[in-house]
Amino acid sequence: MLVLASSSPQRRAILERLGVEFVQRPSGIAELKRGDPAAIARENALRKARAARLAGAEESVLGCDTLVALGGVVYGKPLDESDARTTLGALSGVRHEVLSGLALLEGSRELTAVARTAVTFRELSDELIDWYLATGEWRGRAGGYAIQGAGAALVRSVEGDYENVVGLPLATLLDLYPELLNG
């Protein structure tokens, strides 16, 4: 039994598309936001998985945390529209990293990994930012955008795992947990 320690509809959709049977059990933990971006993503994923694990249950628990980083600054989910505007402005016209930490717990085993994808934004005019903010899509999204939706209009290029930018780095997950597709 796979437990996804997340309420993310994007993560759910990726697993469903693969035909993976799982249950969602969001952990609701407070996420770390400061420090080395890769370490934060890995630690947040591990905390989520540990919080979602049921004592004595024979299950595999998957935790994931996705964040955006630029020059050592971590951009998580914007607090409000003003924060989203500031984030999108900072990412305008530049290459940033999307990092996802993965943690897989099985019995006493704790496996972790971090995926990195480079995303370059177009130069974003105030009008384009206004348009995107009006969609409301920025809410609850690391870096204030959703590449699989209207946020695609903000992006010039993606180098690496597209699914990582959506929220679940599939290639890294399958490296960590090749049994995922056997069940």
Domain hosting 103: range is 2-182
Mean pLDDT, the chain, integer: 94
Provide the token pair at 6: 């997340």
Residue-wise pLDDT tens digits, 124-170: 999 999 999 999 999 989 999 999 999 999 999 999 999 999 999 99
pLDDT at position 14 over 70:
yes
The phi and psi torsions of 160 (rounded to 5 degrees) equal: 120, -160
Q: Of these residues, 36, 65, 161, 175, which one is catalytic?
A: 65
Q: How many whole angstroms separate alpha carbon 172 and alpha carbon 160?
A: 11
Provide the token pair at 68: 């955006």
Question: Would you say how long the chain is, in residues?
Answer: 183
The phi and psi torsions of 114 (rounded to 5 degrees) equal: -130, 130
Q: How many whole angstroms separate alpha carbon 98 and alpha carbon 96?
A: 7
How many domains does the chain contain in total? 1
Q: How many CB atoms lie within 10 A of CB 133?
A: 18
| Domain harbouring 43, CATH code | 3.90.950.10
Q: Whole-prediction pTM value?
A: 0.92
Residue-wise pLDDT tens digits, 78-120: 999 999 999 999 999 999 999 999 999 998 899 999 999 999 9
- 161 annotated active-site: no
Q: Which amino acid is at 132?
A: Y
**Shortest CA distance to 30 belongs to which of 41, 40, 44?**
44
The phi and psi torsions of 61 (rounded to 5 degrees) equal: -115, 125
